[in-house]
Amino acid sequence: MYEGAGILFVADHQGTPHLLLGRRSHRPHQGQWSIPGGRRSQQDASLFETAIRETEEEFCRGQPIGRVFALPDGADWNEQRFQVAPIIVPFVFRWRTYLVPLPNRLPPERIPFDHEFQEVDWFPRDRLPSRTHRGVPYAYWWIRSHNGFGN
C-alpha cells in the first residue's frame, strides 16, 4: 500500500487565507501546483514524520521548517497540534495533509525549494491556479468543514 503525507501552509493576507503551493517539475505531476510531500520511508515512524521530512527536503533544502518559515524557537511540532485531512483507499492508498498556519506569508523568493519544484507562490484559497493538484482544494475543504478553520 502507498502511504504518504504533506504539509499545506496557510497564512492570512488582507483577511483572506492564502495557500503556499509549488509547481512540480517532474512526472507524474509535472506542471501541477501542489504541496510539499511524498511517500513514507521505512525510517519514518509516522505519516507526520513523513510530512516533516518531505517538506524539509522539498521546501527547505534540508533546513528545519521553523528556521525557513521564521516560526518561534521551540515551536510545538506535535502531530496532535495540526489539523489533518485524510485520504484513504482501503488496501491501496493512504495520504494525510497536515495544515500548518503561519503568522505571515514568507516572500516566495525566500523559500529555498529544491529541484522537484519549478517555482513556489501564495494563492488566495478561492483563486487557485487551474492546474492545482485536486488533493489541495479537497484537503483545505475537509479541514475547514471538519475543524472550522478559515473562511
Handedness of CA 51, 3, 117, 23 (dihedral sign): negative
The residue to which cell 527536503 is assigned: 57
Average pLDDT over residues 72-94: 74
Task: Taking residues 31-47, report their average pLDDT.
Answer: 96
Q: Is domain 2-147 classified as CATH 3.40.50.720?
A: no
- Assess whether pLDDT exceeds 80 at residue 79: no
CB 53 within 8 A of CB 44: yes
Where are the domains positioned within the chain? 2-147
Hey, what amino acid is at 15? Answer: G
- Asked if omega into 28 is within 30° of 0 (cis), the reply is yes
Name the band, by pLDDT with cuts 50, 70 and 90, for residue 56: very high
What pTM did the predictor assign?
A: 0.90
CB 68 within 8 A of CB 23: no
